[in-house]
Chain A
Amino acid sequence: MLTACHANTHRRSLIVFAVSVCVLVAVSAAACLVGSSSVGPGDLWALVTGSELSAPARNILLNVRLPRVASALLAGGALAVSGAVIQAVLDNPMASPNIIGINSGAGLAVLVVGALAPALMFLAPLAAFLGAVVSALLIFALSFGAQASRLTVVLAGIAISTIFGAGMNAVLIMAPDAYVNASGFLVGGLAGVTLRTLLAPACYILVALPLALLFAGRLNLMALGDERAHSLGMRVKAARIHFLVISALLAGAAVSFAGLLGFVGLIVPHLVRFFVGHDNRVVLPLSMLVGAAFVTACDMVSRVLFAPYELPVGITMAFLGGPFFIYLIVKRRGYSDARS
């Protein structure tokens, strides 16, 4: 009976995985088809299988829909995994890349490059990564230099986030042309992303994601606390810096093209844990799938809701995700993320 019970936990994770993959594929396909100009499922199928396709349909799919869907998938997957990693590393369910200032560090770096050296905008992903790492290391120094409590870490993060946020607004006021579509950048939006601008951040993300997933088991050890992890033979400080840099890489790359998409990094890991528990070897890959599907779906909605106008995806995400997150918090029973 015990083995049966054990097998059930395993099977549950597998089912959730399978469902997530199906949802992700369905959402991606739908997002390729939905939009102001009509493209049919047949056209998409023809593109996938490489058969004959009308030139306008091909053009729309390759140059409009595909970059859009790819950017939503990448941003969602990267930010959700980044959030899951940060929550585990800081042992803090309230943490996420936007709350502890990683996103705003990356955002400020992008805007500063845009204002001072617009010609170097191709370096935006690198700048975003550096900004994110600076924030992450600041948090690290603040929280572990002073043996700070989990609340202190979040408060320090909010302070850092506020400072960098003020920096971003200052840049935008003094150099209004620093960034095209700056209002979309501040709430997070995917309008205007092309395959070319997506290339560099995509490489960052595709390197960092496997690194995060591969070492997910170590995050479980960190949940035991520093002393216990140390006595199990883990180099806790080194591991913590390693994970913070990976999550900064993920969040920075996403912010460089998608702007300050915050919410996904906070709610997706919580949503995933609600269904499959706290084993990070399951939570991380599932967060990637669910985060990608969530942002893609929200982006699709924000394109069609007020067509021909479109909302930045960050707004739709907050409107859809916010109430759902509140529902989860209120409804959870037996689900605990913040046991002290």
Chain B
Amino acid sequence: MRGHDPGVKRAAAVALATEQPSAIEYRGVGFSYDRRSFIESFDLSIVPGCVTGIIGPNGCGKSTLVKMAAGYLKPQAGEVLVDGRPTLGYRPKERARRLALLTQTGRCPSMTVEALVACGRYPHQSHQGSLDEAGRAVVMEAMSLCGVEMFRDHDVGLLSGGERQRAFVAMTIAQATSIIALDEPTTYLDVHACHDIMRLLRELKSADNKTILVILHDLDLALRYCDRIAVMSKGTLALEGTVDKVVASGVIEEVFKVRVQLNAPPAGSVNGVSYSLFPRF
């Protein structure tokens, strides 16, 4: 988790990535809970090799969107493609070798950090036995990348919120997929832990050219660390594009009813710009 300026390589990565087919593609997707139409004819392409942030007010369908990509929820209309193939057409383990989804932290399992991270190897095992040498190496690497190897024998439940979340991210990394989707990975974390997670995501993207899809509530984090932003509003896509384009469009102001102000970093800081938000009433 070395520090680097997230803003610098953004433009180059975006230009390179747009040439390839989509990592995840929503084609005319419709979804409803209890017959009340919720998401309607939704189209979105997630650019591979980028960190894409999904933002939107509460209850606008962000989580539903990633759960459909993982095949956990089935769209009532349209289809979701993962790496160019319908996600529901994959065998479960095959899909889990392409796309990893870290859902919002619910119940915390009673197991050690190492056992948790080893769960990420499930789609690569023919049957659930003990890990082979290569699998163990992947688990060790994921733990050290996330900085949780010193907790490997600790119970997950006894870790702090930030450490626990890093352990879950390590499990997701151990899945060794080219696409990682995360549903609000920074919820309940303190400022520094939030930035830790986001830096880790950027590092994964730049080191392994992974496609990262991350749902965020914190607009400052989203705008600072993502390459691209998808703004959702009431089950529809308001806009998808590069951070600069989305900020300049004024869509965020409209959807969130806030004014966005860009702040230059203090002298000597390596953290790039930050964004302040002023609610309008």
Which A residues lie at the B interface, using CB under 8 A? 2, 5-6, 9, 91, 215-218, 220-221, 223-225, 227-228, 230-235, 277-279, 336-337, 339-340
Q: Are A278 and B111 in contact (CB under 8 A)?
A: yes
Q: Are B109 and A235 in contact (CB under 8 A)?
A: no
- Residues of B within 8 Å of A221, CB to CB, are 119, 122, 128
Interface residues of B in 221-245 (CB under 8 A from A): none
Give the residue name and chain of the B residue nearest to A230 (CB): B72
Interface core residue of B92, B110, B175 (most chain A CB under 10 Å): B110
| A315 CB to nearest B CB, Å | 33
Q: Are A231 and B101 in contact (CB under 8 A)?
A: yes
| A148 CB to nearest B CB, Å | 15
Q: Are B71 and A230 in contact (CB under 8 A)?
A: yes
B103 within 8 A of A: yes
Interface core residue of A221, A224, A225 (most chain B CB under 10 Å): A224
B149 within 8 A of A: yes
Cα A74 to Cα B94 with chains together (Å): 40
- Residues of B within 8 Å of A231, CB to CB, are 70, 72, 96, 99-103
Interface residues of B in 101-135 (CB under 8 A from A): 101-103, 106-112, 114-116, 119-120, 122-123, 128-129
Interface residues of B in 63-94 (CB under 8 A from A): 67, 70-72, 92-94
Chain B interface, >50% SS class:
mixed
Count contacts on B: residues with CB < 8 A to the other chain.
38
Chain A interface, >50% SS class:
loop
Which B residues lie at the A interface, using CB under 8 A? 67, 70-72, 92-97, 99-103, 106-112, 114-116, 119-120, 122-123, 128-129, 149-150, 152-153, 155, 157, 175
Q: Are A227 and B153 in contact (CB under 8 A)?
A: no
- Residues of B within 8 Å of A6, CB to CB, are 114, 152-153
| A294 CB to nearest B CB, Å | 23
- Residues of A within 8 Å of B107, CB to CB, are 91, 225, 339-340
Cα A232 to Cα B123 with chains together (Å): 6
Q: Are B103 and A228 in contact (CB under 8 A)?
A: yes
Give the residue name and chain of the A residue nearest to B70 (CB): A231
Cα A218 to Cα B155 with chains together (Å): 19
| A338 CB to nearest B CB, Å | 9
Q: Are B153 and A9 in contact (CB under 8 A)?
A: yes
Q: Are B149 and A230 in contact (CB under 8 A)?
A: no
Q: Are A336 and B111 in contact (CB under 8 A)?
A: no
Given known A215-B128, A217-B129, contact A336–B157 (CB-CB < 8 A): yes
Cα A160 to Cα B273 with chains together (Å): 61
Q: Are B119 and A220 in contact (CB under 8 A)?
A: yes
Q: Are B128 and A218 in contact (CB under 8 A)?
A: yes
Cα A232 to Cα B107 with chains together (Å): 16
| A232 CB to nearest B CB, Å | 5
Give the residue name and chain of the A residue nearest to B174 (CB): A232
Cα A224 to Cα B94 with chains together (Å): 20
